[in-house]
Structure 1
Amino acid sequence: MSGDLNQSASASAEANAVKLSGNTVNVNLSPVGTSDGLGALARIVRLVNPVYYERREAEARAIRAESIMSAAKLIYDEFPNMSERRAVMEAMGYRMTNEQADNVVEVLEEAQENLDSQGKEGKGLLPEARDAIVEGSKAAYDDTVRSMWARLVTGESIQPGSFSKRTMSVLSDMGPGDAQMFEVLCSMCVMPVYGNIIEFSPYVILHEDESATSFNDGAFTYGNRCALESFGLIDSSVTRFVKLEPRGVTVFVAGRELVTLENGTESEIKFSTSPVLTRSGIELARLCEVGSKDGLSYFLAKKASEIDLISRSNVQRVSVISGRHG
């Protein structure tokens, strides 16, 4: 990415060789899909610091980005041990190490790639969200955690206010093992179907194994459950109920299957699941592939059969539910 600091919003497109700290480097400073001549780091500046209220918003964003990039160039020239990425973050008012700047910029770059792949332009990040994202993603040294942050940034830039500061705080505390553990849990969730609408309201399907120390044939353990509960992502003291009247049915999406549960009795039956995702858990679940675990419908059917419900599955009727933004 060397050379991005020398590229301003008004630089010519042919400036493919620049001087940086005495060394000549060849760079392509006009990323595919952009026509304003901004380098990669300047595009990140525009993502993080949009201008909502200017009459000519596009021009105002470019001016703002150019101003920050100019300040970053001055900082970079003054402190030779500072990386370009860190200089840009410092110019925006965020103090961090070179390694932390790498984490933040890689998260923002992936978020920008997500937006580009969807053909969307972010509305920008609200100041409170921006600060929480930068602070939290500084410690994202793992690909899994960085990707979760990137998806969060994508969603937050498309619809500001989608994620609470509490949720961002939880994600910032999660290590790679915690993030992977949560993704596994999300893969074992089903979604309720009402008419033709799949509601994003995950039901956790954990069927206890005979060992009483794990669930779903060892795919998830009690230790995993306790760990996620300590983060405030799930609550094992709460149970969700679906009430089925006599001869009534309810429908869930389980991976690529549409599963119908039917009450064939003459009495009311309540189908229950626990633990329950908290608000932060539901928000973070939007960053994961929900219901993607192989054999999920089998464990849903096992839980249903224990309370005399009849289950029927239609394979490959639906796609895996993903709350991922990008």
Structure 2
Amino acid sequence: MATAAHWIAGARLRTLPAAIAPVLAGTAVAAYADAAVWWKALLALVVSLALQVGVNYANDYSDGIRGTDDERVGPLRLVGSGLATPGAVKRAAFLSFGVAAVAGLVLAATTSWWLVLVGAVSVVAAWYYTGGSKPYGYLGLGEVMVFVFFGLVAVVGTTWVQTEEWGTTGWAALAAGAGVGALACAILVANNLRDIPTDTVAGKMTLAVRLGDRRTRVFYGVLVALAVVALVVVAALTTWWALLGLGFLLPAVPATRVVLGGARGPGLIPVLQKTGVAELVWAVLTGVGLVVGAA
């Protein structure tokens, strides 16, 4: 039971902020345009959460059967620790993707059917991140996937299904997607920075392995700075009240100090939590600013 609790706690560090933040940010932009549709926002949240859970299970399964998690520093994995069978974890991944697909189909039926294609691409990208014979996560492209799908696509998609228009609102959603995506990437960068030694041995050529320890730490700092720049762009396109989102620096700055200070192994695990909190705070406070500015 304790082992299962550790796995769930570790999964939360990755899942909840990355799933909730883009929906909050996208809905806040829609609310600023006086076009928020709350039942669509809830469906978008179901899609986002189900995809994130599916990605976690898919990564757990694929890394586990490859033996990548045999020597792991971070939170336990189900397959790698023997807590669950590979088949059970694989079924859980596809069940999660199925839930996302059903919710996505409802959104597509009430807006535009081309969203089905976006959803299908998202699921394929989620699976082949570490799945298949040549997973792109092992080629250093994981951060690209996270930025695009859990940043730009998630935020812009959430806004669009509610407003069904582009204009200034669309550009604001794109900037918000860049901010949320940058912090989602920072979570992955911190995770992969911690795992450089074991990933190198396992042949998992993440971006952190390719960049090396020092440049990966700098990259983390660049991503936090990008989140600040994106927030300023959102404020310039909407209302300066959006700068309330700068409150995300309260958890982000200490996390950045730890990363730039040279922490390794288990010392980087708290950074994952702080960065996840920073992403959520970015979305919540920016959203509050947009709602206040609209009022």
User: Does the alignment reach a TM-score above 0.5?
Assistant: no
More helix per residue: 1 or 2? 2
Asked which structure has the greater CA Rg, the reply is 1
More strand per residue: 1 or 2? 1
> Which TM class, normalised by the smaller chain length?
under 0.3
